[in-house]
C-alpha cells in the first residue's frame, strides 16, 4: 500500500510498520478529528491467499466474529488495544486499532542476560493480568511472545497486542476436496507455540505455555529454541541455566509441560499459584460506541489524540506500538469454531538508545488492589485448612490456606463430615515415566466426574460402631480408621447409614477416589514429587525420590493428624487401604469416563483397593496406585461418598 493513501476517506497511511505472510501493518493518521497533530492509529491489512468464493465467505464470517471479540476485549481491559474500526473493501479486510506508545519487552529480555526472580515474577504478573480478561471470555491469544508484549510508556503496564488468530484470514485456502476450506500453516511462533497448537488444536493452556516460556527466557537469557528437551517426556530442560527458587521453578515447569492437561488451565490459575491477585478491569472514562453494522461494514470509534511522533522514534518502536503489529485481531473462541505485577517503573521508553539491562532489577511496589466483592453464600459451612507442597527431597516449598464446604451428619452420638467435591475433568492413571507405576495404571484417560461428597476421613471405629454395633479393628482407637472390614461389610455399612440418614451413601468409584485424591494435582502424590513420614503414615524406611528415610509407625494412627490435600481430604495416602465399588480390571481399556463405578466384566470376586496403608512402601501410596483383593478379605478400611440428595425411602 502506498504511503499517503487514504482509507474510508479517513485513515491516511503515513508509514509501513511491517509485512509478512500474515498481512501488512501500517501507521496512520485519523483525519476526521479536528486536532493537530492528527491522532495516530494502526491499520492492519489482511487478504485471503485464495480468491475462491467459499474462502471469502469463511473469511467474512471470521472477520466479523473476531472484530466483535476484539472490540469487547478492548472495552473490558485497558491492557488490550481498543478496536476503532473494521471494514471490508472487495476481498481486502482492514482493522484499525489504538496506537500504544512504548516498546516491546524484547528490549528487556536481551540475549545472554539472566534477569532476577523478582523481575520475572513482576513480568509474569503483568502478562497474566492482561491475559485474564481474554481467558475469562474463553479467548485464546495464540501468539504470546516478547515482541507482542508492549511496555506502555504512560504507566509501564504490559499491553497484550497481536491476537494471533487474525492471521487465519491470510492463510485460508481451498482444500483438496471441493467446497472445503483449510489453513495452510499453523498460527503461532515456534518456541512459544506448544505441540497441540502446532497441530491446529490450541487451548487456553497453550497461552500458559507461551507465558511460561517468556518467564524462562527472562531467567535463563536463552531463546526457547536454544533450550534442550527431555528425550522421553518432551519437556524443556532449563533449571540448570537459571538461579531460581524451587517454588517458581515448579510453577514454570507446570506452565510449560509438554502435555497440555497437566498445565494450569488459564491465566487466573497461574496468578493464584503465584500468590498474586488481579485488580478488576479499570473502567474506561469515555467508552467507544458499540459495534454496529452498516452497508459498508464499518465500525468507527474516535481514537484519543496522541502526541506527535518524535523524529527519534525507531521503526521497531513504531511497529510494536500498534495493537495489530505483526497481525492480529482474531482470538479463537473455544466454544464455536468454524473448523471444528507491576513492572519496573524506570525502564526507559523515550528513545531507541535506551539500555534496559540495569533497570529490570528495580521492581516498584504493587498497586493497591480493591477489595473483591463478597463471595456467594455457601450452602454448607466452610472449613479452612492448610496444605503443603514438597520437592523431591521432601522439603516443604510452599503452604497454602484452603477451604471446603462440609456437610455434617449427626447420628447415634457421632458425626460424619462429608466434603463437597466440585465437578471436574482429570487425567486418570499414571504416565509411563512415573516411578513405581505398573501397567495396570494405563492407559491414561480423561474422566468427567460430577459433583459429589466424600468422607473427610476414612470411616473411624467410633462411626463404624455407631452404625454396625461392633468393632472388628485390630488397632483399637475411636478416632483410628476401622480396619479388618471386608468389601461386603463396607457395602452393608453404606446401606445402614443410608437408612439412618435418609441420604444415599456408597463406596466411591475408582475414578471418584483418584479424582478426589489428586485434588487437581498431577504429581505422584498430592503433596508433590514424593511423601515423607511427616506427611503420611506408611513405611517411611522406604524412599520414593530424594527424600531421607523416615519413620515406620507399625500401626494405624488417628485420622486427620497429617496435612490434607487441597480439597480438604485427609489420609488419602497411607494409614489404611480403602475399598472402592469397582470390579477389578487389569487395565483401563473400556473403563467408564463419566465418574461411575466399573461393575461389568472383570472379576466380581475381586474389588479395587486404593491409597496404600501403614505398612506399605511409598510407591504403593501414589495417587494412581491401584490393587485388588478378594471381597471377603478383612484387612481393609474405606470411606464413603454421597450425592448429598435426600432419599426418603431409606428412612426407617
Residues annotated as catalytic (active site), given as ranges: 143
Alpha carbon distance 482, 255 (integer Å): 41
Contact 262, 254 (CB under 8 A): yes
CA distances from 47 to 22, 63, 141, 326, 376 (A): 9, 11, 20, 14, 48
The closest of 415, 411, 419 to 382, measured between CA atoms, is: 419
Alpha carbon distance 352, 106 (integer Å): 13
Provide the β-strand partners of residue 637: 578
Q: Could you tell me which residues come within 8 angstroms of residue 345 by beta carbon, excluding any fewer than 6 positions away?
A: 156, 362, 364
Alpha carbon distance 249, 418 (integer Å): 35
The closest of 117, 125, 113 to 149, measured between CA atoms, is: 125
Contact 164, 330 (CB under 8 A): yes
Provide the β-strand partners of residue 333: 139
Contact 132, 278 (CB under 8 A): yes
CA distances from 459 to 414, 558, 628 (A): 11, 11, 20
Contact 569, 598 (CB under 8 A): no
Alpha carbon distance 167, 172 (integer Å): 9
72 three-class SS: helix
Alpha carbon distance 33, 37 (integer Å): 10
Three-state SS string over 227-264 comes to: CCECCCCCCECCHHHCCCCHHHHHHHHHHCCCCHHHCC
The closest of 201, 311, 194 to 262, measured between CA atoms, is: 194
CA distances from 115 to 159, 341, 461 (A): 21, 16, 56
Contact 534, 396 (CB under 8 A): no
Alpha helices in 482-597 (DSSP H): 487-501, 510-518
Sheet holding 83-89, edge to edge: 6-7, 11-20, 23-30, 40-46, 92-98, 83-89
Sign of CA dihedral 269, 271, 273, 277: negative
Beta strands of 412-510 (E only): which ranges?
414-421, 424-428, 445-449, 452-455, 503-506
Amino acid at each position: 500500500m502506498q504511503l499517503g493513501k487514504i482509507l474510508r476517506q479517513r485513515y491516511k497511511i503515513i508509514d509501513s510498520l511491517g509485512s509478512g505472510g500474515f498481512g501488512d501493518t501500517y501507521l496512520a493518521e485519523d483525519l476526521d478529528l479536528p486536532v493537530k497533530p492528527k491522532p495516530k492509529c494502526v491499520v492492519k491489512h489482511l487478504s485471503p491467499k485464495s480468491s475462491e468464493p467459499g474462502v471469502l465467505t469463511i473469511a467474512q464470517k471470521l472477520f466479523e466474529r473476531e472484530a466483535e471479540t476484539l472490540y469487547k476485549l478492548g472495552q473490558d481491559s485497558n491492557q488490550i488495544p481498543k478496536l476503532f474500526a473494521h471494514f471490508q473493501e472487495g476481498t481486502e479486510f482492514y482493522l484499525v486499532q489504538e496506537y500504544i506508545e512504548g516498546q516491546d519487552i524484547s528490549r528487556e529480555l536481551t540475549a545472554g542476560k539472566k534477569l532476577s526472580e523478582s523481575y520475572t515474577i513482576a513480568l509474569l504478573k503483568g502478562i497474566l493480568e492482561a491475559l485474564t480478561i481474554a481467558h475469562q471470555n474463553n479467548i485464546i491469544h495464540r501468539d504470546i511472545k516478547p515482541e507482542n508484549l508492549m511496555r506502555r510508556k504512560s504507566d509501564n503496564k504490559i499491553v497484550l497486542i497481536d491476537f494471533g488468530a487474525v492471521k487465519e484470514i491470510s492463510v485460508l485456502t481451498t482444500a483438496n476436496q471441493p467446497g472445503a476450506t483449510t489453513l495452510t500453516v499453523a498460527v503461532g511462533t515456534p518456541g512459544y507455540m506448544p505441540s497441540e497448537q502446532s497441530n491446529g488444536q490450541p487451548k487456553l493452556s497453550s497461552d500458559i505455555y507461551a507465558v511460561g516460556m517468556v518467564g524462562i527466557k527472562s531467567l535463563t537469557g536463552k531463546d526457547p529454541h536454544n533450550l534442550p528437551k527431555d528425550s522421553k517426556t518432551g519437556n524443556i530442560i532449563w533449571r540448570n541455566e537459571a538461579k531460581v527458587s524451587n517454588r517458581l521453578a515448579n510453577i514454570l515447569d507446570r506452565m510449560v509441560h509438554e502435555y497440555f492437561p497437566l498445565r494450569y488451565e488459564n491465566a487466573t490459575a497461574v496468578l493464584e499459584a503465584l500468590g498474586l491477585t488481579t485488580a478488576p478491569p479499570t473502567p474506561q472514562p469515555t467508552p467507544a460506541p458499540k459495534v454496529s453494522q452498516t452497508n459498508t461494514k464499518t465500525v468507527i470509534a474516535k481514537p484519543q489524540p496522541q502526541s506527535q511522533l518524535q523524529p527519534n522514534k525507531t521503526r521497531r518502536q513504531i511497529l510494536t506500538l500498534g495493537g495489530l503489529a505483526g497481525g492480529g485481531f482474531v482470538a479463537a473462541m473455544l466454544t464455536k469454531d468454524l473448523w471444528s505485577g507491576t513492572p519496573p517503573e524506570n525502564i526507559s521508553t523515550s528513545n531507541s538508545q535506551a539500555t534496559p539491562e540495569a533497570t529490570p532489577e528495580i521492581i516498584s511496589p504493587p498497586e493497591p488492589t480493591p477489595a473483591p466483592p463478597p463471595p456467594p453464600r455457601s450452602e454448607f459451612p466452610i472449613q479452612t485448612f492448610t496444605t503443603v507442597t514438597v520437592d523431591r527431597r521432601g522439603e516443604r516449598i510452599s503452604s497454602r490456606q484452603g477451604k471446603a464446604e462440609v456437610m455434617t451428619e449427626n447420628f447415634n452420638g457421632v458425626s460424619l463430615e462429608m466434603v463437597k467435591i466440585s465437578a471436574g475433568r482429570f487425567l486418570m492413571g499414571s504416565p509411563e515415566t512415573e516411578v513405581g507405576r505398573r501397567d495396570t495404571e494405563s492407559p491414561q484417560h480423561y474422566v468427567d466426574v460430577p459433583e459429589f461428597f466424600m468422607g473427610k476421613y476414612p470411616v473411624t471405629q467410633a462411626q463404624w460402631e455407631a452404625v454396625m454395633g461392633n468393632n472388628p479393628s485390630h488397632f483399637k482407637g475411636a478416632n483410628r480408621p476401622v480396619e479388618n472390614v471386608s468389601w461386603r461389610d463396607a457395602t452393608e455399612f453404606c446401606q445402614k447409614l443410608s437408612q439412618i440418614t435418609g441420604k444415599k451413601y456408597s463406596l466411591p468409584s475408582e475414578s471418584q477416589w483418584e479424582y478426589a485424591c489428586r485434588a487437581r494435582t498431577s504429581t505422584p502424590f498430592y503433596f508433590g514429587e514424593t511423601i515423607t513420614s511427616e506427611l503420611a503414615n506408611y513405611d517411611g524406611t522406604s524412599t520414593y525420590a530424594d527424600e531421607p528415610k523416615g519413620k515406620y509407625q507399625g500401626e494405624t494412627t488417628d485420622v486427620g493428624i497429617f496435612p490434607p490435600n487441597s480439597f480438604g481430604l485427609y489420609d488419602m495416602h497411607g494409614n489404611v487401604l480403602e475399598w472402592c465399588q469397582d470390579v477389578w480390571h487389569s487395565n483401563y481399556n473400556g473403563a467408564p469416563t463419566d465418574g461411575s463405578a466399573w461393575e461389568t466384566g472383570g472379576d466380581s470376586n475381586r474389588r479395587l483397593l486404593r491409597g496404600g496403608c501403614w505398612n506399605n512402601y511409598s510407591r504403593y501410596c501414589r495417587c494412581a496406585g491401584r490393587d485388588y483383593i478378594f471381597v471377603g478379605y478383612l484387612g481393609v478400611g474405606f470411606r464413603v461418598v454421597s450425592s448429598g440428595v435426600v432419599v426418603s425411602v431409606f428412612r426407617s
